[in-house]
Chains A and B, each alone.
Chain A
Amino acid sequence: MLRIDSLVKVYRDVRALDGLSLEVKEGQIYGFLGPNGAGKSTAILGTLGLIYPNSGRISLLGKEVFRDGKFSEKALLEAKSKIGYMPEHATLWDFLTPYQTLDILADSFDIPRTERGKRIRELLETVNLWEVKDKKVGKFSKGMRQRLLLAQALINDPELLILDEPMSGLDPKGIAEFKEVIREQKKAGKTVFFSSHILAHVEEVCDTVGVIVRGKLRLEGNIKQIKENFLKKAGYLILLETNKPVSFEGVDWEVERVSPTKYKIKAPGDIREEVNDLVWGQGAKILQLMVRVPSLEEVFLSLVKEED
Chain B
Amino acid sequence: MWWGFKLELKKGIRTKKLWAVLLIMLLLYIPVIYLLKQGTGSGGEMSGEAAMAIMIQFITGMSMFFLGIVAIVMGATSVNKEIEEGTIRVVLSKKISRLSYILGKFSGQSVVFFGAVLLAVAVALAGLAYVGVDLTGNVVSDVLLLNLVLFMVMVEFLALGYILSTFLKSSGSALGVALVLFFIIYLVIPIFVQYEMYTHAPGDISEGGLRDLKADYYTKYIFYSPTAQVEVITSYVSDYREVKKTVDTPKGKVTYTKSIPTYNGVGHAIRTRWVNVLLLFLMSAAYLALAVVRFVRMDLR
Contacts and interface: CB of A to CB of B under 8 A. Distances in A.
Interface residues of B, number: 22
A50 B93 contact: yes
A275 B143 CA distance: 93
Contacts of B86: 87-91
Interface stretch (B6-14, B47-55, B210-218, B243-251): B6-14
A80 B98 CA distance: 13
B299 interface: yes
Interface string B69-91: 00000000000000001110111
Given A41-B301, A104-B6, A93 B94 contact: no
B34 interface: no
Interface in B1-43: 3, 6-7, 10-11, 14
Interface in A92-126: 92-93, 95-96, 104-105, 107-109
B90 A90 contact: yes
B172 to A, nearest CB: 17
Given A45-B300, A87-B90, A77 B95 contact: yes
A51 interface: yes
A91 B83 CA distance: 10
A108 B11 contact: no
B3 A108 contact: yes
Contacts of B253: none
B297 interface: yes
B87 A109 contact: no
A140 interface: no
A52 B300 CA distance: 9
Contact of A87 (B93, B95, B96): B93
Contacts of B6: 104, 107
A91 B85 contact: yes
A223 interface: no
B293 interface: no
Interface string A13-47: 00000000000000000000000000001100100
Contacts of A107: 3, 6
B99 to A, nearest CB: 9
B90 A108 contact: no
A85 B87 CA distance: 12
B300 A108 contact: no
A299 B226 CA distance: 59
B289 interface: no
Contact of A48 (B3, B85, B93, B297): B93
A229 interface: no
Given A50-B301, A95-B11, A107-B6, A152 B90 contact: yes
B10 to A, nearest CB: 8
Nearest to A74: B97
Interface string A61-95: 00000000000010001001101110111111101
A255 B95 CA distance: 58
A209 interface: no
Contacts of A45: 89, 299-301
B92 interface: yes
Contacts of A284: none
Contacts of B97: 73, 77
A92 B86 CA distance: 8
A211 B60 CA distance: 61
A237 interface: no
A87 B93 CA distance: 9
A51 B93 contact: no
A149 interface: yes
A50 B89 contact: yes
Contacts of B85: 90-91
Nearest to A80: B95
Contacts of A84: 93
Contacts of A92: 87, 90
A83 B89 CA distance: 13
A51 B11 contact: no
B89 A108 contact: no
A108 B96 contact: yes
Interface string A187-208: 0000000000000000000000
A109 B89 contact: no
Contacts of A80: 93-95
Interface string B251-285: 00000000000000000000000000000000000
A75 B284 CA distance: 32
Given A87-B93, A90-B87, A156-B94, 17 more contacts: A45-B299, A48-B92, A50-B89, A50-B92, A51-B299, A81-B95, A83-B93, A85-B90, A89-B86, A90-B85, A92-B90, A105-B91, A105-B94, A107-B6, A108-B3, A108-B96, A152-B90
Q: Which 5 A-B pairs have the closest CB atoms?
A: A90-B86, A85-B93, A51-B299, A108-B94, A87-B89
15 contacts: A41-B301, A48-B92, A50-B89, A50-B299, A51-B299, A73-B97, A83-B93, A90-B85, A93-B11, A104-B6, A107-B3, A107-B6, A108-B91, A149-B90, A156-B94
